[in-house]
Amino acid sequence: MFRKLLLFFISVLVTISILFTIVEQVSENVLQETLQSTSLKQLKYSLQEMEQTLKQLEVLTVLLSNDSSIKSYGNSKDFSPYLNSLLLRKIIEEKLLTQSYANIVQSNISIYWPRLDEVLSSLNHSPKKVYNKEQWSTLPKFKWFISRENGFELRYILVAPYLIVPELKSVNYTIETSLTVNFLKNVLRSVEAAGNGSSFFYNPSFEPIYADKLNESVFQKVKDLYATGRFSNGELNHQTITIDNESYLLQAVSSTSLDWSLVQYIPLDDYLKPLNLTKKISRASLIFLILIGSFMYLILYRNIKRPITYLVRKLEALGSGKYESRVHLRVNNEFDYLFDRFNDMASRIQILIEDVYEEKLRSKEAIYKQLQSQINPHFLYNCLFYIVSMAKKNPDAVTAMAQNLAYYYRFITKNNSYEIPLSEELKLITSYLSVQTLRNPNLHYHIDVEELLKQALIPPLILQPIVENSVVHGIDNKLGSGIITIKGATLEGVHYIVVEDDGYGLTPTQMQNLSSQLENKYRDNEIGCGLWNIHQRMQHRYDHTSGLTFEVSTLGGLKVTLSWKCIEGKVQD
């Protein structure tokens, strides 16, 4: 449950983190898009205002070119008295001055008559300073351009009459409207007054025009972008650049009246400060949430998860048979009461299990003693029956059997134990087979048991009935037989003793029935006492995997295998 709770908590935190990241990214994108849109609109609006101003000045210049007094002044000295010429000049000067002040921006209007080589200006400039006859023909006509003659100056020249390729000798007069560079700087200040970064006018052939200050790094980046063709017709939309770990939004709009671009650069970090502050607050909130969640999980783990896990381990230990298992943990909450009840329950279960276990051991021991006491009379009966049957036929066999019987009971009486070394059992078998060879000279036997296995402790008379069955029911019932082999070894922690003969043997069906009858808790009258007693004693003494198994022997008779698990300490000292 707590693992699921932890996974749920982690999934919630991950989801919140992803949502925070998405919201932050969307907010940043929206803010940048809004900034791009508004700044570009402001940039275009300011440039449009400048274009309209220049268009108005163009219109006023054209209207002025159609003034009759200006047209007639060029010929006034040829046809009019000199006094009238001076009066006409005065009228033109007043018109120029009036129109100059009437314009929406302060401008200088100059009229030049090439034939008279005379200039009238609203600012009374010297003719030689205003016009350079050698450069005049190279200057652009009927369009605005920026000249370096008197510093940066914005100029518009109109020629009358209109000529596609005007020559100075063919021109009656020219009218020029000029603006100082302050006009462009005021345009830049109006852009910057909107609060959208800084701006400057850029033309690759000139130095940049800026209002108050210029970021040289940004200007150099603009030059590089222009050189690499990133400007499209002098315009650039939404270009983000990074200089000295600072990001700038770069935009440029081309002027239709001038061959210049109005470039604006906005430091994004300044505009994203509120959003960055929001990001920091969001991340701090997320970290705080993680800390609070971790603290709550730690409290739940300490006061609920750990006690439950500890109690489950104790329950598992109790279920696995460790009845002495007790709870010693104290958490100073309701679990202490549960732990006390568990300890009481475990104590009662331990007492009950110990009583039942002791009773079971006593019952098992009683059954084992009963089986052991059952085999002793059986062995005695067989020996006495053999003595009676051989009394007249072979007195030596009777003597040997009596000695064998006396040796066995003297050993049992002396040790008074329910287990004897396998070596003693093998001595008894050797004596028994020696006696049988006196009765049957064709009987031959071979015993091959590992020395270490001979030290293992086994119940008395555990092999003798098997060997006796091989002689009586196997070899005696088949003419020409007489071979018995006894082998013993330990493999993978299990002791094996195999008894084989070349006697009559059993069919597979008989072996299967015999194996089934051995598993019965109570002996069937159809089966002899010896084999059933051996099998039951082995299972009571060791476990259900111990006992007898039957196979067809390679010698032709029956192969009986006695097996039991190797138990540490079950060897002769």
Q: Note whether 34-178 and 184-273 share their fold.
A: yes
Q: How far apart are CA 511 and CA 525, in angstroms?
A: 17
Q: Classify residue 555 by its DSSP letter.
A: T
Domain-wise residue ranges, the chain? 34-178, 184-273, 358-565
Q: Classify residue 439 by its DSSP letter.
A: H
CA 8 and chain centroid, separation: 16
Q: How far apart are CA 157 and CA 171, in angstroms?
A: 12
Closest CA to 36 of 236, 226, 216, 243: 236
Q: What per-residue confidence (pLDDT) applies to 134?
A: 66
Residue 266 CB contacts under 8 Å (≥ 6 apart), including other chains = 35, 39, 196, 197, 198, 248, 249, 251
Q: How far apart are CA 533 and CA 552, in angstroms?
A: 22
Closest CA to 493 of 564, 437, 544: 564
Q: How far apart are CA 146 and CA 110, in angstroms?
A: 16
Q: What per-residue confidence (pLDDT) applies to 497?
A: 95
CATH superfamily of 34-178: PAS domain (3.30.450.20)
Q: What per-residue confidence (pLDDT) applies to 500?
A: 94
Backbone angles phi, psi at 394, to 5 degrees: -145, 90
Q: What is the CA radius of gyration of the chain?
A: 62
Hey, which CATH number is domain 184-273, 2.120.10, 3.30.450, 3.10.450, 1.10.10? 3.30.450
Hey, which CATH number is domain 358-565, 1.20.1050.10, 3.30.465.10, 3.40.50.2000, 3.30.565.10? 3.30.565.10
Q: How far apart are CA 275 and CA 279, in angstroms?
A: 6
Half-sphere exposure of 214 (CA within 13 A, CB side): 18
Residue 316: both structure tokens together: 């598992």
List, run by run, the mean pLDDT of 10-residue segments along the chain (573 residues): 72 81 80 80 87 87 82 66 68 77 76 81 56 72 81 83 67 85 87 83 87 87 83 72 85 86 85 77 82 82 79 81 78 79 83 71 58 57 68 71 69 65 87 79 90 89 86 83 91 93 89 86 64 84 88 91 81 55
Other CB atoms within a 10 A radius of the CB of residue 64 amount to 18
Amino acid identity, position 529: C
- 3-state SS record for 260-322: CEEEEEEEHHHHCHHHHHHHHHHHHHHHHHHHHHHHHHHHHHHHHHHHHHHHHHHHHHHHCCC
Q: What per-residue confidence (pLDDT) applies to 66?
A: 83
**CA separation (Å) from 294 to 12, 139, 291?**
13, 78, 5
* The residue to which tokens 């005065």 are assigned: 90
